[in-house]
């Protein structure tokens, strides 16, 4: 089981062809680390926070990544005991998600958990 996040662009108004967006998956085992970083709700339950577009995730993701890089040990203590997921996997995953949000700020956020 994992968390699937996607950023969906509006279809082309001329041809109605779906434009390429962004999709990524991460293990639920990193939920405690996301909670420590203050972004659990943003990632796992954006609809409960009123998050609709990618631009609404930019600042929270930037802040979380910055905090995680400033104090890695604070977050590494949440590495899952079973080895599925880690700080070293999560930070680059967050950076890719942030990059996609910055590239497509008006894309719709959707998650599957």
pLDDT interval class at 14 (50, 70, 90): confident
> Is the pLDDT score of 103 beyond 70?
yes
Mean pLDDT of 46-69: 97
Q: So where are the chain's domains?
A: 2-11+30-112
Task: Please report the pLDDT score of residue 18 as a whole number.
Answer: 66
> Measured in Å, how far apart are the chain's first and last C-alpha atoms?
8
Lowest mean pLDDT among 7-11, 16-20, 30-34: 16-20
Record the pTM: 0.92
Pairwise CA distance, residues 23 & 52, whole Å: 16
Question: Of 67, 46, 68, 55, nearest to 98 (Cα)?
Answer: 55
Largest CA distance in the chain: 51
Residue 22 is given by DSSP the state: E
């Amino acid at each position: 089981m994992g968390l699937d996040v996607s950023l969906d662009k509006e279809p082309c108004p001329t041809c109605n062809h779906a434009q390429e967006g962004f999709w990524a998956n991460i293990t639920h085992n990193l939920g405690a680390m996301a909670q420590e970083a203050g972004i659990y709700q943003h990632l796992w339950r954006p609809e409960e926070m009123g998050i609709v577009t990618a631009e609404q995730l930019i600042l929270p993701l930037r802040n979380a990544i910055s905090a995680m890089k400033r104090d890695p040990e604070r977050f590494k203590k949440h590495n899952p005991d079973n080895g599925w997921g880690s700080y070293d996997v999560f930070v680059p995953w967050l950076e890719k998600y942030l990059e996609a949000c910055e590239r497509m700020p008006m894309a719709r956020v959707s998650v599957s958990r």
